[in-house]
């Protein structure tokens, strides 16, 4: 009977909010941004697909063209991954609904949020990709330059604009950079991919030090007047050879930001390694020439651009975040005394600097979200927020401008869609790349392991599950799409023979993270068979739980205890018995057949 009453209450709340949407959605939808799409280029892509299928285009030429338009080969033959860019992570409710429509039209019936704040859809036949592109374009979205040797999606830490610590909102500057570079001739045939990120505060949720260009908002006072600017970092990146970015200059005035980014891109285009793709990122230019030489090249290029092309660089239109008008009226009381609501509020609800409003994190395990869940997020954004949501680089969604008194409504609506998992962007919220499930470079099933670890943490580690100072990140190969180098506990996939039989393994790294303007890369500790990883994580976290000093964060604990002791603690988990004694130990997570490393030519380097 109680379940029936609860369900009736949820249905009533949904109906009430639906009625509110009919009144409010028109005003909110008028806030839609200028489109990123170009219908003509989709027609051109469609024609190229037909010509390719007819044998009139060379496969290598078509691959470059296909990747430039966000269509990426999968491990599974005959289907593609289609990626749409979400510049600075910003989505309107109408765009969320269009993403839901696209999800419904694809075989998996879900979308996937990436660590670059994009959306991906899998198992799409190549001939159907133009239809998806047109669907995105109708909502103002584009797949252009989501893959390939281009400037990829320009990302922004998801708290930008509502963070109490930021000197100003970097979002308009990120938008200006993204619009300037999109389809720009200087960005169409770079030596390799190029990544740009912004952060608004010292918490650096944009992860600026691991990007080719990172821009951290700062202010300075000159003659008593406060000036906006950025600490611009260059030459960062992860992958098999991680490198943290280094400062370009003490202070880059905000008015020079787009010009400076263009100068860095031009220097990379000229000096990036076009002979060896494994050494083709900007970080290798910095390593080879040195930061002083790269700095001189960039500043000289910026002077030249200012003298010859100043009129081509856009002025940034600064728009301050503000509450929607009118504000919604709460219809459901806060469920005080409900333990599930209390935990969700403690972990997923963040106060904004604008008093009375909060941001609500929607935790998406593995970054996956169904069509109906996307529509639910759109419904809440319209009825209770500002008609928008943001993706995060931790594979989640954030709803902003929710009135504190309307949290009962938000909780009810999101619960109905299965979107109130607690622990967003905390220990239990494990980050993972797609791994061997779809990626041609993937060695192991990073998604399978991530799902298992999240379950173990939730069931067995109590309050530690919601710890903000410990994060787990997993990649299915050394390339670090799962950001394993900057995890408190990081893993990347590999393989090793035990008694002559292959088994999936993970290299364990400990103590990584990002501080303001500085990346700290995890220390390699041990190589652990995939099936032993949950036991290794249990062992390490139990040691941390019992031996840490008061208030000691995990990175400080790793420094104090030392890699040698931590390695010894899990040494018994780094070997396997003979396969005849424990055949399940030689299987990958989620697999039912014998493990065999199968990798192909990854198109991220194509």
* Residue 26 pLDDT level (bands cut at 50, 70, 90): very low
Q: Residue 485: its pLDDT value, please?
A: 98
- Residue 1 predicted with pLDDT over 70: no
Instruction: Report pLDDT for 509.
Output: 98
Sign of dihedral through CA atoms 572, 578, 580, 581?
Answer: negative
pLDDT at position 284 is 98
**Position with higher pLDDT, 27 vs 242:** 242
Reported as a pLDDT band with limits 50, 70 and 90, residue 604 is low
Say which CATH class 2-30+326-416 falls into.
Answer: alpha beta
pLDDT of 334 reads 93
SS3 content of the chain, % helix, strand, coil (to 5): 45, 20, 40
Angle at alpha carbon of residue 227, lines to 223 and 230, rounded to 5°: 135
Cα 464 to Cα 444: distance, rounded to the nearest angstrom: 27
pLDDT band at 597 (very low <50, low <70, confident <90, very high): confident
Q: Among 12-16, 130-134, 521-525, which stretch is predicted with the lowest mean pLDDT?
A: 12-16
- pLDDT of residue 9 exceeding 70, the answer is no
- How do residues 321-370 score in pLDDT, each as one tens digit? 988 988 888 889 999 899 999 999 999 999 999 999 999 999 999 999 99
Of 126-130, 226-230, 335-339, 582-586, give the lowest mean pLDDT range: 335-339
Summarize pLDDT for 372-426 with one digit per residue, the tens: 999 999 999 999 999 999 999 999 999 999 999 999 999 999 999 999 999 999 9
Q: Which residues contact 175 (CB under 8 A, 6 or more apart)?
A: 87, 88, 154
pLDDT-above-70 percentage for the chain: 94
Q: How do the domains of the chain map onto residue ranges?
A: 2-30+326-416, 39-138, 163-312, 431-605
- Per-residue pLDDT for 294 more than 50? yes
Residue 21 has pLDDT above 70, yes or no: no
Instruction: Look at residue 44 in the predicted model and tell me its pLDDT.
Output: 98
Of the candidates 281, 268, 107, which has an alpha carbon nearest to the alpha carbon of residue 192?
Answer: 281
Q: Which residues contact 528 (CB under 8 A, 6 or more apart)?
A: 491, 505, 506, 508, 536, 570, 573, 574
Top-level class of domain 39-138: alpha beta
> pLDDT-derived band of residue 86, with 50, 70 and 90 as boundaries?
very high
Residue 605: pLDDT above 50? no
Residue 601 binned pLDDT confidence (cut-offs 50, 70, 90): low
CATH number, domain 431-605: 3.30.413.10
Backbone angles phi, psi at 175, to 5 degrees: -60, -40
Give the per-residue pLDDT at 29.
41
pLDDT for the residue 243: 97
Q: Is the domain 163-312 a CATH 3.30.413.10 member?
A: yes
- Intrachain domains 2-30+326-416 and 431-605 with the same fold: no
Instruction: Please tell me the predicted confidence (pLDDT) of residue 310.
Output: 81
* pLDDT value at 14 more than 60: no
Is the pLDDT at 140 greater than 60, yes or no?
A: yes
| Residue 429: closest CA among 487, 373, 374 | 487
Residue that wins the pLDDT comparison between 6 and 242: 242
Please tell me the predicted confidence (pLDDT) of residue 4: 33
Task: Give the per-residue pLDDT at 31.
Answer: 57
| Mean pLDDT calculated for residue range 157-169 | 97
pLDDT of residue 16: 44
Which tens digits make up the pLDDT trace of 183-196? 999 999 999 999 99
pLDDT over threshold 80, residue 10: no
Q: Do 301 and 266 form a contact (C-beta atoms < 8 A)?
A: yes
Q: What is the pLDDT of residues 548-579, one digit of tens each?
A: 999 999 999 999 999 999 999 999 999 999 99
Return the pLDDT at 7.
Answer: 34
The pLDDT tens digits of the residues spanning 432-485 come to 999 999 999 999 999 999 999 999 999 999 889 999 999 999 999 999 999 999
Of 16-20, 439-443, 472-476, 520-524, minimum mean pLDDT range: 16-20
Mean pLDDT over the full length of the chain: 93
CA neighbor of 313 nearest in space, from 236, 385, 260, 271: 260
Q: What is the reported pLDDT for 22?
A: 35
Report angle CA 466, 471, 474 to the nearest 5 degrees: 130
Name the token pair of 235: 């030459």
Beta strands in 100-152 (DSSP E): 110-113, 119-124
Q: Using one digit for the tens of pLDDT, what is the confidence trace for 232-272?
A: 999 999 999 999 999 999 999 999 999 999 999 999 999 99
Higher local confidence (pLDDT), 524 or 28: 524
DSSP string, 261-275: HHHHHHHHHHHS-SS
Assess whether pLDDT exceeds 60 at residue 5: no
pLDDT at 600: 67
Separation between Cα atoms, residue 597 and residue 497, nearest integer Å: 11
User: Which pLDDT value is given to residue 169?
Assistant: 98
- pLDDT of 19 > 60? The answer is no
Where are the extended beta strands (E) located within 331-380? 349-351, 357-362, 368-370
Task: Give just the sign of the alpha carbon dihedral 489, 362, 142, 599.
Answer: positive
Across the range 508-518, mean pLDDT stands at 92
User: In sequence order, what are the residues at sequence separation of 6 or more whose Cβ sits closer than 8 angstroms to the Cβ of residue 305?
Assistant: 259, 262, 263, 266, 313
Reported as type and span, the H/E element at residue 510 is strand 501-510
How many Cα neighbours within 13 Å face the side chain of 76? 12
Residue 2 burial (10 A CB sphere; 0-12, 13-18, 19+): exposed
């Amino acid at each position: 009977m109680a379940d029936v009453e609860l369900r009736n209450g949820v249905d009533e709340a949904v109906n009430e909010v639906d009625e509110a949407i009919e009144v409010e959605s028109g005003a909110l939808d008028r806030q839609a941004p200028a489109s990123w799409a170009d219908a003509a280029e989709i027609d051109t892509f469609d024609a190229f697909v037909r010509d390719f299928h007819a044998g009139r285009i060379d496969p290598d030429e078509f691959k470059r063209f296909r990747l430039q338009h966000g269509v990426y080969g999968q491990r599974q033959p005959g289907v593609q991954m289609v990626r749409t860019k979400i510049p600075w992570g910003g989505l309107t409710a109408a765009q969320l609904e269009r993403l839901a429509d696209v999800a419904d039209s694809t075989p998996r019936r879900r979308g996937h949020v990436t660590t670059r704040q994009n959306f991906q859809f899998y198992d799409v036949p190549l001939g159907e990709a133009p239809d998806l592109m047109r669907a995105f374009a109708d909502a103002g979205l584009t797949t252009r330059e989501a893959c390939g040797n281009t400037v990829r999606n320009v990302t922004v830490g998801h708290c930008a604009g509502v963070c109490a610590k930021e000197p100003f909102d970097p979002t308009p500057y990120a938008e200006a950079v993204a619009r300037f570079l999109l389809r720009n001739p200087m960005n169409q045939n770079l030596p390799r991919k190029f990544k740009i990120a912004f952060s608004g505060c010292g918490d650096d949720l944009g992860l600026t030090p691991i990007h080719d260009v990172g821009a951290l908002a700062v202010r300075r006072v000159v003659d008593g007047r406060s000036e906006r600017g950025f600490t611009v970092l260059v030459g960062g990146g992860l992958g098999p050879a991680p490198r943290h970015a280094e400062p370009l200059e003490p202070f880059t005035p905000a008015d020079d930001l787009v010009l400076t980014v263009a100068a860095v891109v031009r220097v990379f285009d000229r000096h990036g390694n076009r002979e060896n793709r494994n050494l083709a990122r900007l970080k290798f230019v910095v390593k080879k020439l040195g930061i002083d030489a790269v700095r001189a090249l960039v500043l000289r290029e910026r002077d030249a651009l200012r003298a010859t092309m100043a009129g081509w660089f856009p002025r940034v239109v600064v728009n301050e975040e503000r509450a929607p008008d009118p504000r919604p009226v709460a219809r459901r009381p806060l469920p005080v005394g409900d333990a599930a609501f209390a935990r969700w509020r403690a972990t997923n609800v963040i106060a904004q600097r604008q008093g009375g409003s909060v941001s609500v994190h929607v935790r998406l395990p593995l970054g996956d979200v169904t069509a109906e869940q996307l529509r639910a997020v759109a419904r809440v954004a319209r009825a209770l927020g500002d008609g928008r949501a943001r993706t995060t680089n931790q594979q989640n969604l954030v709803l902003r401008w929710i009135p504190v008194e309307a949290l009962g409504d938000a909780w009810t609506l999101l619960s109905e869609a299965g979107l109130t998992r607690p622990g967003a962007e905390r220990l239990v919220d494990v980050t993972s790349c797609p791994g061997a499930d779809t990626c041609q470079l993937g060695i192991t099933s990073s998604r399978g392991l991530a799902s298992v670890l999240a379950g173990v943490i939730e069931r067995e580690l109590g309050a530690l599950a919601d710890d903000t100072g410990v994060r787990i990140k997993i990649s299915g190969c050394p390339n670090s799409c799962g950001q394993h180098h900057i995890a408190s506990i990081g893993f990347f996939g590999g393989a090793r023979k035990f008694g002559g039989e292959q088994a999936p393994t993970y290299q364990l790294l400990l103590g990584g993270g990002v501080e303001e303007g500085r990346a700290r890369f995890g220390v390699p500790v041990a190589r652990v068979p995939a099936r032993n990883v949950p036991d290794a994580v249990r062992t390490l976290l139990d040691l941390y739980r019992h031996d840490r000093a008061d208030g000691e964060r995990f990175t400080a604990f790793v420094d104090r205890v030392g890699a040698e002791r931590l390695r010894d603690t899990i040494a018994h988990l780094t070997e396997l018995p003979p396969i005849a004694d424990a055949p399940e130990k030689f299987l990958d997570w989620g697999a039912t057949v014998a493990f065999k490393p199968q990798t192909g030519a990854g198109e991220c380097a194509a």
